[in-house]
Amino acid sequence: MKDISQLKTTIKELFDTQRLAVLSTNDKDRPYSNLVAFSASEDLKTLVFATTRSTRKYSNLTTESRVSLLIDNRSNTVSDFIQAIAITATGTATEVKGEEKDHLLKHYLVKHGTLKDFVQSPTCALLKIMVDAYYVVNRFQNVQELHIKP
């Protein structure tokens, strides 16, 4: 993974194979993490997830919009130390509405069609993370960074 193009390919390939990620928010100055179903834009600038507005994660996001999202392919075996890849995305999350929501929702449902009723519920919010950076870890301690320009 020496060049940016190869690093982006690695990120896209992992995102194509993984449906869930760990979202970390700030809950009164303490970290708070949840599993979320996610999708990524082709240019990797945006990650999308959904949650109901009554959740702690949504409440946390209305107070502090900075988040991180961890996506990995671990299998909980010894081989993970060599073969697993973990990607942490950092950025700012905001609820999307209107035409932007319609566009992102279509893309999200391509990956998560079984969540259609959930995401179309009036109590559900579709959120986008505007990614600042990706931190890609493989071979247990090989770390590469990809900073996203707006």
Rounded to the nearest angstrom, the gap between the alpha carbon of residue 89 and the centroid of all alpha carbons in its chain is 7
Query: Residue range 139-144: average pLDDT?
Result: 89
Q: pLDDT tens-digit profile of 62-110? A: 999 999 999 999 998 898 888 899 999 999 999 999 999 999 999 999 9
Q: Is the pTM of this model over 0.85?
A: yes
Buried b (16+ CB within 10 A) or exposed e, 26-56: eeeeeeeeeebbbbbeeebbbbbbbbeeeee
Q: State the sign of the Cα–Cα–Cα–Cα dihedral 94, 95, 98, 102.
A: positive
- The mean pLDDT value for 112-141 works out to 96
pLDDT reported for residue 90: 98
pLDDT at 2: 56
| pLDDT over 60 at 135, yes or no | yes
Determine the pLDDT at residue 140.
81
Tokens of 127: 């959120």
Is a pLDDT exceeding 50 seen at residue 1?
Answer: no
Domain map of the chain by residue range?
4-147
Q: Specify whether domain 4-147 bears CATH 1.10.3720.10.
A: no
pLDDT of amino acid 150: 79
